[in-house]
Amino acid sequence: ANGLPKRPGRLPFAPVAVTRADIVTVPEGFQAKAFIPWGTPICGSYPAYREDGTNSAQDQAEQTGMHHDGMHYFPIDAQGGRGHNSEHGLLVVNHEYIDAPLLHPNGTTVDANGNRTVPEEVRKEINAHGVSVVEIRRTPHGDWEVVANSKFGRRITAATPMEIQGPARGHPLLSTLYSPNGTATRGTQNNCSNGFTPWGTYLTCEENWAGYFATRDSDLPRELKRYGLGTKGRFGWETLEGDEFQRFDATRKAETASGDYRNEPKHFGWIVEIDPFDPQSVPVKRTALGRFAHEGVIFAPTQPGKPLVCYSGDDSRNEYIYKYISRDKFHPGHPANSHLLDEGTLYVARFNADGTGDWLPLDIHDPLFQAACTAKGISFADQGDVLINARTAADTIGATKMDRPEWGAVHPETGDIYFTLTNNTNRTEPDAANPRASNAYGHIIRWKEENQDYSAIRFGWNIFLLGGPEDDSHGPDGAALTADNVHASPDGLWFDPEGRLWIQTDMSGSQLSAGPFGNNQMLVADPESGAVKRFLVGPVGCEVTGITATPDFRTLFVNIQHPGEGSTPSNLLSTWPDGPGKRPRSATLVITREGWRKVL
């Protein structure tokens, strides 16, 4: 269908079977080793991991965080700059969230009301979130190691100072006690998937940040209401006194929103740019890309003299897929390409029933957007207001509500854009692009921009794969999935350099505990032949997420997140990777093929 010649033998391995074993399974001829698990020292005084949970909050700020998610490998050249080296680089890893009890010797400490009582515990939890920059090197023995005394090693946490850029910088809605002029903030969190720019910086995406903030107000402004804040934070950080914790309590306490912490949650839901090669650099929240539950961000291939284009999904039930087109043109090697992420237009997708689609502008100066606002009686003060309220703007212009958009990937040869839609049990009305009511299993959609021009505002789409059991699914060839590839809840998505699509799953609850799917898994699809094979099954209770490779594709990095999710120190549901009696730890898998060949 995509016009590419069929190349046989593109998936040269026997698919692994579904299993619920507490191990990582890969096909014969391949190896998967755990690397940089939670607690690995990577900077500062390189404090050793203590398996009884007694590492301090400061130790945690110098070790890898918990719950590895999106990541990227940046090769280093001999001079320590951006290069092409496949055996020495910076692995930059998101730490999405935490299994809090495992961070402490005897679980979390709370009082009779469930409030937190130990500031040091909460500081450690804050430091277990964020991003790690890890300098790594392949040893002569063929293993990968963390480079000691690295000048690049760095932890970014949910408390690290950051800058706000783009159209919402300095907006009155972003005025806080910490930054009255709304230009600075602290921390990034719920960093799920990621992206990387054509100029070699890392992008980390803030997904389920709303759960960390509490508000007991009933009359919430749309910037809070539309994003689902609860009355209690996920880990109760806001129940401790002091600015460093109270900033998570967005309840009205003062005369104005800038006099308390009501505006603090508006500093989250952004994409954050980090320069991993400059350890002194201040991370920047890029507001032109909109504020929502960003799963990840994926760039279209760049063309010199053309605008920069990237895509991002809002992973909540019935939310949207967005596209950003820069105002200015991309010029390779330009020292200030980052500004392309500050000036541009954010669009949102409408998938029409006839297989066409439209990118609808969320731009206060665009007549189409203005007409939609007038028709619906909704107004925005300025473009900063539109971006802070991106969900409301997308509602207004009539975008298509999707089944939880997760990762995207661009086919390196056809240019088609693929997106996972992980599931949506809240869907009552199926539509063409989300064809199942109560979609428990998820699917993968793909589209081609009109005239294969990434700045086009029209596209054509179809459904690539429908996840699910053998009697309720189909693969790329239209046939039902089989024992070799049955899966549900696709989430992570990545194209290797030769156009094979790697699919990672994030099943939970009953899909994990019983039924045909086993533990979470990673599959490989060949869009040309329609073949899909299961390549990896993870340990008990984990999610398989995050994927990047060295330029020579001899090393593939994949993350195992939250093995034994829900464990406490006295009830270990998995003991991967350290073995019996040891707390489970999220970790990166180093995947290689026998004979130091390309992985595929």
User: What does the binding site for ligand FEO look like in residue numbers (CB under 6 A)?
Assistant: 96, 192, 207, 295, 315, 406, 491
Distances (CA, A) of 461 to 213, 357, 577, 578: 37, 7, 41, 45
Q: Kindly determine how many residues on this chain lie close enough to bind Ca ion according to the rule CB under 5 A.
A: 7
Q: 191-196 and 531-537 as β-strands: parallel, antiparallel, unpaired?
A: unpaired
Using CA atoms, how far apart are residues 599 and 376, in angstroms rounded to an integer? 53
* Residue whose CB is less far from Ca ion, 288 or 503: 503
How far from the centroid of its chain's Cα atoms is residue 297's Cα?
Answer: 8
* Residue whose CB is less far from ligand FEO, 25 or 489: 489
DSSP output for 449-515: EGGG-TT-SEEEEEEEEE-BSTTS-B-TTSSPP-TTT-B--EEEEEE-TTSPEEEEE---THHHHSS
**Least distance from C-beta 207 to ligand FEO, angstroms?**
5
* Residue whose CB is less far from Ca ion, 389 or 545: 545
Distances (CA, A) of 179 to 164, 206, 314: 10, 20, 27
412 sits in the region (left: phi over 0; alpha: psi -120 to 50; else beta) called alpha
319 binds, among Ca ion, ligand FEO, none (CB under 5 to 8 A by kind): none
Using CA atoms, how far apart are residues 335 and 328, in angstroms rounded to an integer? 14
* Residue whose CB is less far from Ca ion, 137 or 317: 317
207 binds, among Ca ion, ligand FEO, none (CB under 5 to 8 A by kind): ligand FEO
249 binds, among ligand FEO, Ca ion, none (CB under 5 to 8 A by kind): none
Q: Which residue is nearest to ligand FEO (CB)?
A: 192
Count Cβ atoms below 10 Å from residue 105 Cβ, excluding itself. Answer: 11
* Residue whose CB is less far from ligand FEO, 96 or 449: 96
Stretch that binds Ca ion, among 115-123, 154-162, 361-369, 502-510 (CB under 5 A): 502-510
Using CA atoms, how far apart are residues 492 and 523, in angstroms rounded to an integer? 10
Binders of Ca ion among 140-179, rule CB under 5 A?
none
- As given in the structure block, the two tokens for residue 103 are 């961070």
**Least distance from C-beta 426 to ligand FEO, angstroms?**
15
**Least distance from C-beta 130 to ligand FEO, angstroms?**
14
* Residue whose CB is less far from ligand FEO, 192 or 364: 192
Q: Which residue stretches of 324-398 are H helix?
A: 367-376, 383-388, 390-397
**Least distance from C-beta 97 to Ca ion, angstroms?**
8
Burial 501-526 (b: 16+ CB within 10 A, else e): bbbbbbbbeebbeeeebbbbbbbbbb
**Least distance from C-beta 189 to Ca ion, angstroms?**
13
* Residue whose CB is less far from Ca ion, 11 or 298: 298
HEC assignment per residue over 213-281 = CECCCCCCCHHHHCCCCECCCCCCHHHCCCHHHHCCECCCCCCCHHHCCCCHHHHCCCEEEECCCCCCC
**Least distance from C-beta 547 to ligand FEO, angstroms?**
14
Contact between 337 and 349 under an 8 Å Cβ cutoff? The reply is no
Q: Which residue is nearest to Ca ion (CB)?
A: 506
* Residue whose CB is less far from ligand FEO, 166 or 467: 467
491 binds Ca ion (CB under 5 A): yes
526 binds, among ligand FEO, Ca ion, none (CB under 5 to 8 A by kind): none
List the one residue from 506, 526, 528, 565 that touches Ca ion (CB under 5 A): 506
125 binds, among ligand FEO, Ca ion, none (CB under 5 to 8 A by kind): none
* Residue whose CB is less far from Ca ion, 476 or 492: 492
Report the candidate in 154, 94, 91 with the shortest Cα–Cα distance to residue 130. 94
Report the candidate in 584, 481, 579 with the shortest Cα–Cα distance to residue 530. 481
59 binds, among Ca ion, ligand FEO, none (CB under 5 to 8 A by kind): none
Q: Which residue stretches of 71-146 are H helix?
A: 119-127
Distances (CA, A) of 340 to 102, 165, 326, 481: 41, 11, 5, 42
**Least distance from C-beta 96 to ligand FEO, angstroms?**
6
- Contact mark string toward Ca ion, 68..107, x via CB under 5 A: -x--------------------------x-----------
403 binds, among ligand FEO, Ca ion, none (CB under 5 to 8 A by kind): none
**Least distance from C-beta 504 to Ca ion, angstroms?**
8
**Least distance from C-beta 512 to ligand FEO, angstroms?**
15
* Residue whose CB is less far from ligand FEO, 199 or 227: 227
Residues interacting with Ca ion, by CB under 5 A?
A: 69, 96, 192, 406, 491, 506, 545
